[in-house]
């Protein structure tokens, strides 16, 4: 994912940029080449199934965040609000609808084709349903609903998996066949799933490298680059496998040399604070937001946002021997489908396993899926760990809700609190 600014790029980032460029080029030619396009979501997506049917997936949230990075989201949001969407509506939704109203020019300047199918893989965010209801009306495209049961009790049951597999067999796959003109090929799906599992091994290695001291990665800001291929249109492809192999080699080299993470201004020389971060980043001021952290030597060693497309570090891998069951378990296990108690347990685990000095919550104004319950989570985590939590507020792609001075002051005050706690502990 490119920030649209002069970020220092490693080979894996260059490769990813090339992958994205090729992807948007293929999208722009989809109509002429007779390729059908499926709009879907990042959490709990069925990318391997879509690719196995010869279709091209599109992710509206990715288009929205890329628009935010390129400073175009505000104009799209205004267009959406003109037709009646309120200020409280998820800004991803308003940005996406505004982009469509403005001609559907994608992040690279090429036109994104309209959907032939809207595949709603509901995973814990109610906004998804209203979002695709609106897109269905605007594009007059059919909608396939894949309902994912909520993990209310913190575990996946056999009944949940069977319910989801039944939906795929009776509703989703027949509609994909009808729209694409291709028959479902389980053998082809297995091939994609095998490549997914291979990439997922190196992906987990990259994220868990944050346990090293110093951490060779930034698990939040740089993490948004790391998750790009596996959470979107490339999972199951050979390019995805090669990207994570390259990323792993880079991280192994930094560990061997005992180097810190790479920032837009070069390698971080000194790790002063190790942080766990909860919540999505702000995209309209992404580089400024990142700079606040690395200027202070604060390294997010792990984040929950990098689990929004799958909590792979808890052991899940796509399984080619159980193709549809594997897809169901993937959808059930993404971060947005976890209950608040499970999210608290996961963050506590991260604080302990990654030797964190503290944890920061970035509460997103228009994202109820993340922000609901975050103050409760902070209080519970403080009680369990004895580590103070920090709380900042911004938004996804609406620059009206990013206050640089306010966030910087809160972050600096929080880091001073950690310093004070260290001094008290030394006596």
pLDDT per position as a tens digit, 376-420: 999 999 999 999 999 999 999 999 999 999 999 999 999 999 999
247 and 371 in a single domain? The answer is yes
For residue 118, tell me if it sits in a domain: yes
Q: How far apart are CA 61 and CA 130, in angstroms?
A: 14
For residue 342, tell me if it sits in a domain: yes
Q: Is 0.85 surpassed by the pTM of this model?
A: yes
209 and 167 in a single domain? The answer is no
For residue 261, tell me if it sits in a domain: yes
For residue 1, tell me if it sits in a domain: no
For residue 236, tell me if it sits in a domain: yes
* Count of domains forming the chain: 2
Q: 140 lies in which domain range?
A: 12-182
136 and 199 in a single domain? The answer is no
Q: Which of 182, 204, 239 is the last residue of a domain?
A: 182
175 and 197 in a single domain? The answer is no
143 and 159 in a single domain? The answer is yes
Question: First and final CA of the chain: distance in angstroms?
Answer: 45
For residue 144, tell me if it sits in a domain: yes
317 and 367 in a single domain? The answer is yes
pLDDT band at 108 (very low <50, low <70, confident <90, very high): confident
Query: Which CATH number fits the domain that encloses residue 422?
Result: 3.40.50.11900
Decide which of 132 and 168 is more confident.
Answer: 168
81 and 217 in a single domain? The answer is no
Query: What is the reported pLDDT for 1?
Result: 39
100 and 214 in a single domain? The answer is no
Query: What is the reported pLDDT for 8?
Result: 59
For residue 4, tell me if it sits in a domain: no
User: Cβ atoms within 10 A of the Cβ of 193, count?
Assistant: 25
For residue 110, tell me if it sits in a domain: yes
49 and 135 in a single domain? The answer is yes
């Amino acid at each position: 994912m490119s920030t649209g600014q002069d970020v220092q790029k490693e080979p894996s980032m260059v490769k990813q940029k090339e992958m994205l460029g090729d992807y948007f080029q293929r999208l722009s030619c989809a109509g002429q080449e007779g390729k059908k396009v499926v709009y879907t979501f990042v959490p709990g997506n069925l990318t391997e199934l879509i690719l196995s049917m010869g279709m091209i997936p599109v992710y509206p949230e990715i288009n929205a965040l890329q628009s935010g990075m390129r400073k175009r989201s505000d104009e799209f949001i205004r267009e959406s609000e003109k037709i009646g969407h309120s200020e409280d509506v998820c800004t991803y939704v308003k940005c996406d609808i505004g982009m469509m109203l403005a001609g559907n020019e994608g992040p690279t300047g090429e036109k994104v084709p309209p959907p032939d199918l809207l595949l709603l893989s509901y995973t814990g965010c109610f906004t998804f349903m209203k979002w695709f209801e609106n897109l269905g009306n605007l594009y007059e495209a059919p909608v396939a609903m894949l309902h994912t049961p909520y993990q209310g009790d913190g575990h996946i049951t056999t009944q949940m998996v069977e319910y989801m597999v039944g939906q795929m067999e009776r509703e989703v796959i027949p509609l994909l066949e009808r729209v694409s003109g291709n028959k479902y090929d389980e053998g082809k799906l297995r091939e994609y799933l095998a490549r997914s599992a291979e990439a997922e091994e190196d992906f987990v290695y990259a994220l868990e490298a944050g346990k090293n001291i110093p951490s060779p990665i930034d698990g939040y800001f740089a993490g948004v680059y790391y998750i790009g291929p596996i959470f979107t249109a490339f999972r199951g492809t050979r390019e995805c496998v090669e990207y994570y192999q390259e990323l792993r080699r880079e991280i192994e080299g930094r560990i061997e040399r005992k180097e810190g993470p790479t920032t837009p201004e070069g390698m971080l020389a000194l790790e002063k604070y190790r942080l766990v971060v909860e919540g999505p980043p702000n995209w309209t001021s992404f580089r400024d937001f990142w700079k606040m952290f690395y200027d202070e030597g604060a390294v997010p060693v792990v984040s929950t946002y990098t689990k929004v497309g799958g909590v792979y570090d808890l052991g899940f891998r796509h399984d080619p021997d159980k193709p549809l069951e594997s897809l169901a378990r993937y959808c059930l296990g993404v971060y947005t489908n976890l209950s608040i108690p499970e999210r608290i347990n996961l963050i506590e685990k991260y604080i302990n396993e990654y030797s964190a000095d503290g944890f920061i919550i970035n509460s997103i104004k228009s994202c109820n899926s993340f922000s609901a319950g975050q103050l409760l989570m902070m209080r519970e985590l403080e009680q369990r760990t004895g580590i103070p939590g920090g709380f900042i507020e911004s938004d996804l792609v609406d620059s009206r809700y990013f206050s640089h001075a306010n966030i910087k002051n809160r972050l600096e005050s929080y880091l001073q609190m950690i310093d004070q706690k260290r001094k008290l502990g030394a006596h």
